[in-house]
Chain A
């Protein structure tokens, strides 16, 4: 029974991965990645790690993929002609790209040799013993105990990393040109003495700009027009 489930899930995992790499439309790639993640959660369940499987479904396939779908919908249709540069001779990077794919295939062979040709006897076994229980291997209680005792430092570091990433995401994706045309006059506050202007406050994030920054904006379209003549 478990081997049948393993093969179904493994086929789902690999076909989802192939779909991500080969589909032209990024939206379909995201959907293929969702199916890949769901099948991977089944594999995690087969490996007796229920908590990681639940996280995989709830956070990865739920939250992160929704973010991807929103960005794909925002950026719009970016359908990419696959292999066009591979076929056209003399295009920049076509040989490099083909060589990269060959290199990744070589990486697969090397990984398989390293993983399956290892001298470890346990690789061919079914894993360590397992007895069901409320606090046994892989349950939320077990993971929580490990996270808050032995891996407390990693837990705190991960939380700081999340905080930094959230701040970085806001700074990167904030609106730089403002929501509306009419300018609101700048009111001098004590904070102006403490920090230079246009350094990323929340008021500037929603479009209220202090004066003295607008001169820079005229140079921006010319810089962009180098890429889109």
Chain B
């Protein structure tokens, strides 16, 4: 398959993630859709890495995975803290970060 097919799949996944981030209200699902966007970017990076036969894109993809793991850690910690304080788990209701 030519590289263009992989790039098309990555664009579709990225846009689906963007739709989810904008339209869903549960912060857990918003985080999942953010993962989708990062995965779309990763697929594009690895496709370009294959295109040039160069490993830099794969290293960048690994760094993106690390950043995604950190983001999951902090985001899930915030969701658990919200739940403990009996605040609504809904990004429409949560308009301020002040505890």
Contact = CB atoms under 8 A, between A and B. Distances in A.
Chain A interface residue number, banded: 35 or more
Given A13-B13, A21-B16, A122-B3, A227 B87 contact: yes
A116 B8 contact: yes
A67 B24 contact: no
Contacts of A116: 4, 7-8
Nearest to B11: A111
Contact of B24 (A21, A30, A43, A161): A21
A193 interface: no
Contacts of A63: 69
Interface stretch (A136-144, A184-192, A197-205, A207-215): A136-144
Contact of A100 (B23, B55, B78): B23
B15 A47 contact: no
Given A78-B89, A126-B1, A172-B74, A49 B50 contact: yes
B53 A128 contact: yes
- The main secondary structure of chain A at its interface with chain B is helix
Contacts of B13: 13-14, 17, 36
- The main secondary structure of chain B at its interface with chain A is helix
Contact of B77 (A30, A161, A172): A172
Contacts, number: 245
A100 B51 CA distance: 33
Interface residues of B, number: 77
Contact of B79 (A3, A75, A122, A142): A75
B62 A143 contact: yes
Contacts of A26: 26, 28-29, 32
B66 A44 contact: no
A123 B2 contact: yes
